[in-house]
């Protein structure tokens, strides 16, 4: 492909860059924005522990930070690991916080974020619905900004 | 057993051969870079996966050409009295089979992904501290890896034509068609960006169809070659060399009738000439005349076995 022979294609690409690609096929980010963030939680001490209906721990703090960034309220749902991930793949959940690592066999069937916590031998991630790339990018930006804040302290 | 004589490229074609060799080394180097680059950014994209497999298979043709270029200096010997030309054709056969099979595999994989309605997930990468959607990175890699290959493909067509080298030509055409891979991949990833989850698998299917097609076209050519088909020009037209050799030998005064049977081996023609002579006096000189007349037709006419029959009455 020679750029000077395809000016329209290049203009299109530049326009798209400005248009805020990527988008969500199922509009997850739009729905969650100032709405409800449906989170599938599984107890995974020390990262996530149940306290009543809500959760606490570093992973829970991250989820709350994400919800704050979207102006959304969190709806915690408690069930098993596989139950939540199947629901996520069906788009019945927006996020799964279950002490998942980057080696999870669910990679590909659901989306995995970049690592929010590094430990020798395990990189912890959150799971998002498959293909919801705008939502994933927004969640990853929150993770990045928390890393930046933590390292500047 | 008597080994066949060796073959030398005419002097004026040596620089062309050198240029072709340099271009093929450059191609191999660039593909090595591309294979690593695409592997690092491909993520879960079907289109990138198909492009990566196509890049891996692009090693085959340049390698076959460079090995052939080395072997052409090797004289036929006791063990291989007919020389080493065929080994290259066999290597190219293996490559064509690989192209066809892997192209089919990726096509099936892409179609299954489409049928299963799998949504590709592409997040962000940090480059120099900046968060960038990984899709942009994939598009950049596809574009940057495609452009040099297309340029190299164009550059190799000239030498391929001059050397009558079908392997080089096949390689040049496949490289030149890489624009389609880059374009399809880019469209696929932009499609994912727009929210069309099916765009990536569709692009992967398009790329794999192109790979399959390359495989099948080359497979047919190589099989015909190995079956000693009638000589053809580099464009696939029937070659006029056999007819011209026949006419050249017929021009000799002592020749009553001539028939010719030629086949291609790499860039050379080899075969048999059947002569019906008015008289067989001074036979060795006459055979030498036939050989010279035939070789004068084209630089590629190489090893000929001449059968002479004396016309009775």
Which residues fall within 8 angstroms of residue A145, CB to CB, at 6 or more apart?
A: none
Q: pLDDT above 70 covers what percent of chain A?
A: 87
In chain B, % of residues over pLDDT 90 = 52
Global ipTM: 0.83
Q: Which of B42, B48, B120, B121 to substitute to test the interface with A, most A CBs within 10 Å? A: B121
Q: Are B138 and B45 in contact (CB under 8 A)?
A: yes
Helices and strands: H and E segment counts in chain A: 5, 8
62-81 in chain A: CB under 8 A from chain B? none
Report pLDDT for A17.
57
Q: Sort B192 into a burial class: Cβ within 10 Å, 0-12 / 13-18 / 19+.
A: buried
Q: Do B119 and A13 touch (CB under 8 A)?
A: no
- At A8, is the pLDDT very low, low, confident or very high (cuts 50, 70, 90)? low
Q: Is A21 part of the contact surface with chain B (CB cutoff 8 Å)?
A: yes
Interface contact A143, partner B, CB < 8 A? no
pLDDT tens readout for residues A120-151: 888 999 999 999 999 999 999 999 999 888 87
A66 contacts in chain B (CB < 8 Å): none
Judged against a pLDDT cut of 90, whether residue B43 lies above it is answered with no
Mean pLDDT across B133-146: 92
B147 touches chain A (CB under 8 A): yes
For an interface test with A, which of B113, B114, B118, B119 has the most A Cβ atoms less than 10 Å from its Cβ?
Answer: B119
Best A96, A137, A139 member to test B by mutation, with max B CBs in 10 Å, is A137
With contacts defined as CB-CB under 8 Å, which chain B residues touch A144?
Answer: 124, 126, 131
Instruction: Determine, for residues B118 and A22 on separate chains, whether the beta-carbon distance falls below 8 Å.
Output: no
pLDDT for A92 = 95
Both structure tokens of B197: 């989850």
Q: How confident is the model at residue B154 (pLDDT cuts 50, 70, 90)?
A: very high
Q: Do B119 and A24 touch (CB under 8 A)?
A: no
The answer to whether A21 contacts B194, with C-beta atoms less than 8 Å apart, is yes
Report yes or no: A88 at the B interface, CB cutoff 8 Å: no
Mean pLDDT of B269-287: 90
Mean pLDDT, residues B60-84 taken together: 85
The C-alpha atoms of residue B209 and residue B102 are separated, in whole angstroms, by 10
Report the alpha-carbon distance of residue B61 to residue A86 in Å, rounded.
Answer: 46
Tokens of A10: 């290049």
- Site from B112, B123, B180, B197 to mutate, A interface, most A CB atoms within 10 angstroms: B123
Which of A16-30, B101-115, B266-280 shows the lowest mean pLDDT across its residues? A16-30
Strand blocks (E) in chain B: 124-127, 130-133, 255-265, 268-277, 301-310
What's the predicted TM-score (pTM) here? Answer: 0.83
**Which B residues 176-235 touch A at CB under 8 Å?**
179, 182-183, 190, 192-197
Helix (H) or strand (E) holding A36: strand A36-41
pLDDT of residue B259: 94
> In this complex, is the C-beta atom of A40 within 8 Å of any C-beta atom belonging to chain B?
no
Distance between CA B62 and CA B149 in Å, rounded? 12
> Given pLDDT bands bounded at 50, 70 and 90, which one contains residue B201?
very high
pLDDT of residue A1: 47
Query: How far is CA B250 from its chain centroid?
Result: 35
Average pLDDT, chain A: 88
Cβ–Cβ of B195/A130 closer than 8 Å?
A: no
Compare CB distances from A25 to B119, B126, B182 and report the shortest one's residue: B119
Which pLDDT belongs to residue B120?
92
Report yes or no: A87 and A93 within 8 Å, Cβ to Cβ: yes
- In Å, how far is A49's CA from the nearest CA of chain B? 27
**B221 phi and psi angles, rounded to 5 deg:** -65, -45
Chain B touched by A112 (CB under 8 Å): yes
B124–A132: do the CB atoms touch at under 8 Å?
no
Cα–Cα distance, A86 to B300 (Å, whole number): 67
pLDDT at B241: 93
A9: left (phi over 0), alpha (psi -120 to 50) or beta: alpha
Name the band, by pLDDT with cuts 50, 70 and 90, for residue A59: very high
Residue B313 has pLDDT above 50, yes or no: yes
Enumerate the residues of chain A whose CB falls inside 8 A of the CB of residue B136. Answer: 17
Distance between CA A33 and CA A56 in Å, rounded?
23
CB contact under 8 A, B133 and A24: no
Residue located via tokens 């496949």: B174
Instruction: Check residue A52 and give its pLDDT.
Output: 87
Span B22-38, average pLDDT: 94
With 70 as the cut, is the pLDDT of residue A12 above it? no
Q: Tell me whether A131 touches chain B (CB under 8 Å).
A: yes
Average pLDDT, chain B: 89
């Amino acid at each position: 492909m020679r750029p000077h022979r395809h000016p329209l294609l290049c203009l299109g690409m530049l326009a798209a860059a400005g248009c805020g690609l990527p988008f969500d096929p199922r509009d997850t980010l739009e729905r969650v924005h100032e709405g409800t963030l449906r989170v599938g939680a599984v107890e995974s001490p020390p990262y996530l522990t149940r306290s009543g209906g809500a959760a606490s721990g570093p992973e829970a703090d991250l989820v709350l930070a994400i919800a704050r960034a979207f102006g959304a309220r969190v709806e915690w749902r408690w069930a098993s690991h596989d139950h939540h991930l199947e629901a996520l793949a069906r788009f019945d959940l927006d996020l799964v916080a279950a002490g998942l690592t980057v080696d999870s066999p669910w990679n590909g069937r659901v989306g995995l974020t970049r690592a929010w916590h590094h430990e020798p031998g395990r990189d912890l991630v959150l799971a998002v619905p498959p293909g919801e790339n705008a939502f994933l990018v927004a969640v990853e930006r929150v993770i990045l900004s928390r890393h930046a804040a933590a390292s500047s302290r | 057993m008597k080994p066949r004589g060796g073959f030398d490229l005419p002097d004026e074609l040596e620089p062309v051969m050198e240029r072709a060799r340099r271009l093929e080394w450059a191609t191999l180097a660039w593909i090595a870079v591309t294979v690593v680059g695409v592997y690092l950014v491909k993520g879960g994209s079907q289109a990138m996966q198909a492009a990566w497999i196509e890049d891996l298979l692009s090693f085959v043709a340049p390698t076959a050409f460079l090995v052939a270029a080395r072997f052409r200096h090797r004289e036929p010997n006791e063990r291989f009295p007919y020389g080493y030309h065929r080994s290259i054709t066999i290597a190219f056969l293996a490559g064509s089979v690989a192209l066809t099979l892997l192209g089919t595999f990726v096509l099936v994989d892409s179609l299954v992904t489409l049928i299963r309605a799998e949504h590709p997930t592409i997040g962000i990468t940090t480059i120099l501290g900046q968060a960038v959607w990984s899709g942009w990175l994939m598009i950049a890699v596809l574009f940057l890896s495609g452009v040099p290959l297309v340029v190299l493909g164009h550059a190799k067509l000239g030498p391929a034509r001059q050397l009558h080298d079908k392997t080089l030509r096949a390689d040049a055409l496949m490289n030149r068609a890489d624009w389609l891979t880059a374009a399809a991949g880019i469209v696929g990833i932009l499609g994912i960006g727009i929210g069309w989850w099916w765009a990536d698998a569709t692009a992967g299917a398009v790329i794999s169809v192109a790979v399959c097609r390359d495989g099948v076209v080359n497979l047919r050519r190589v099989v015909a070659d190995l079956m000693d088909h009638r000589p053809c020009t580099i464009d696939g037209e029937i070659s006029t060399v056999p007819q011209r050799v026949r006419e050249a030998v017929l021009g000799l005064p002592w020749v009553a009738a001539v028939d010719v049977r030629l086949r291609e081996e790499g860039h050379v023609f080899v075969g048999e000439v059947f002569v019906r002579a008015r008289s067989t006096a001074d036979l060795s000189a006459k055979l030498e005349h036939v050989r010279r007349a035939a070789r004068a037709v084209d630089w590629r006419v190489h090893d000929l076995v001449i059968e002479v029959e004396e016309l009775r009455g």
